[in-house]
Amino acid sequence: MDSLTHPSGPPATPRHAVRRWLSGFGISGLIGLAVLLCWMLAALAGPMLLPGPLQAGGGSDVFAPISAQHWLGTDYLGRDMLARVIDGARYTVGVALLATLLASGTGTALALFAAAMGGKVDTILSRVLDTLTAIPSKMFALILVAGFGSSVAMLVATAAVIYIPGAYRIARSLAVNINALDYVTVARTRGEGTLYIMLREILPNIVGPMLADLGLRFVYVVLLLAGLSFLGLGIQPPAADWGSLVRENIGALPDAGASVIAPALAIASLTIAVNLVIDNLPGRAARERGGR
């Protein structure tokens, strides 16, 4: 008897995979993703996205109003604010992203090690990081930056140290639950080592929640660095992030508010976009419905 064969569909292409992934976002998620990608592009390309006259900077009236020549007005030195905001994305987005990756990566690695080892190792790591959590983050950042300077490397290290304990607590709570499951016990019984348990048994099962936590931690780091810059302890002139731009032009708020409002709106749009993307991650809504 002839066997019936069912024709298979066309092979999936990267374009189809991306389209399928994007279809999992809602409208608000797509809007947030578009805004986030725009700021990422600005951080990578910077002022090269703008025409040559705007890249030069200076030469215009101080605190000039919004016009066809200067879409966001000018700052206290007559520089175009649109160019300054786009240039500041390199520091706001770049420094915050690097610090977030360092904090989440280190916290997750320590959590995996603590969960896999258990016992005294878990207890000691948890108590040490709990001690860091007890110190107010803003005060800790001010002490470190005031004592060691406000270079880019120091800002990254400071933000990372502050948010490692939070990432550790989230990752450890997930890892401990995974570590108690039967398939992890089976892996230990057949003689697998600690590194194998960490990377092959526990890590793949906590990646999703940790990516969501990474997005939220990125928002916290952005706000922390912007606050330090507003206090004059962040990125130093002639470079400037969005917090520095607000501080530099704060005196012109009554007369040339665009020079202050533009970088403030940039901070708000970035943080809101990240939250929209996190809230609409593909599969998250289905997981939440399944959990109820």
Q: pLDDT tens digits for the chain (292 residues)? A: 444 444 444 555 667 666 766 666 778 888 888 999 999 998 888 767 766 555 555 556 788 878 888 888 888 888 888 888 998 898 899 999 999 999 999 999 999 999 988 888 889 999 999 888 888 888 888 888 888 888 889 999 999 999 999 999 999 999 999 988 888 888 888 888 888 888 888 898 898 888 889 989 999 999 999 999 888 888 888 888 899 999 888 888 777 778 889 999 999 999 999 998 888 876 554 444 444 4
Query: Is 198 in contact with 225 (CB distance < 8 Å)?
Result: no
CA 170 vs. chain centroid, Å, equals 16
Would residue 49 count as lying in a domain?
A: no
Q: Please tell me whether residue 80 adopts helix, strand or coil conformation.
A: strand
Would residue 39 count as lying in a domain?
A: no
Q: Report which of 33, 161, 154, 35 is spatially closest to residue 95, judged by C-alpha positions.
A: 154
Rounded to 5 degrees, what are φ and ψ at 206? -120, 5
Q: Report which of 231, 101, 114, 212 is spatially closest to residue 157, judged by C-alpha positions.
A: 101
**C-alpha–C-alpha distance, residues 241 and 263, integer Å:** 9
Would residue 176 count as lying in a domain?
A: yes
Q: Is the dihedral of CA 193, 197, 198, 199 positive or negative?
A: positive
Contacts of 140 (CB under 8 A, 6+ apart): 132, 158, 161, 162
Would residue 120 count as lying in a domain?
A: yes
CATH number at residue 203: 1.10.3720.10
Residue by residue, DSSP assigns 131-199 as HHHTS-HHHHHHHHHHHH---HHHHHHHHHHHHHHHHHHHHHHHHHHHHTSHHHHHHHHTT--HHHIII
Query: Is 225 in contact with 243 (CB distance < 8 Å)?
Result: yes
Domain hosting residue 148, numbered range: 91-280
Q: Is the dihedral of CA 101, 271, 39, 238 positive or negative?
A: negative
Query: Is 175 in contact with 111 (CB distance < 8 Å)?
Result: yes
Contacts of 126 (CB under 8 A, 6+ apart): 114, 168, 172
Report the predicted TM-score, pTM, of the whole model to 2 decimal places: 0.83
Q: Report which of 91, 53, 52, 84 is spatially closest to residue 262, judged by C-alpha positions.
A: 84
Write the pLDDT tens digit of every residue in 55-114. Answer: 555 556 788 878 888 888 888 888 888 888 998 898 899 999 999 999 999 999 999 999
**C-alpha–C-alpha distance, residues 150 and 143, integer Å:** 11
Would residue 201 count as lying in a domain?
A: yes
Would residue 15 count as lying in a domain?
A: no
Running DSSP on this structure, what letter comes out for residue 46? G
Q: CA dist 230 to 155, 220, 241, 260, Å?
A: 14, 15, 9, 11
The total of structural domains in the chain comes to 1
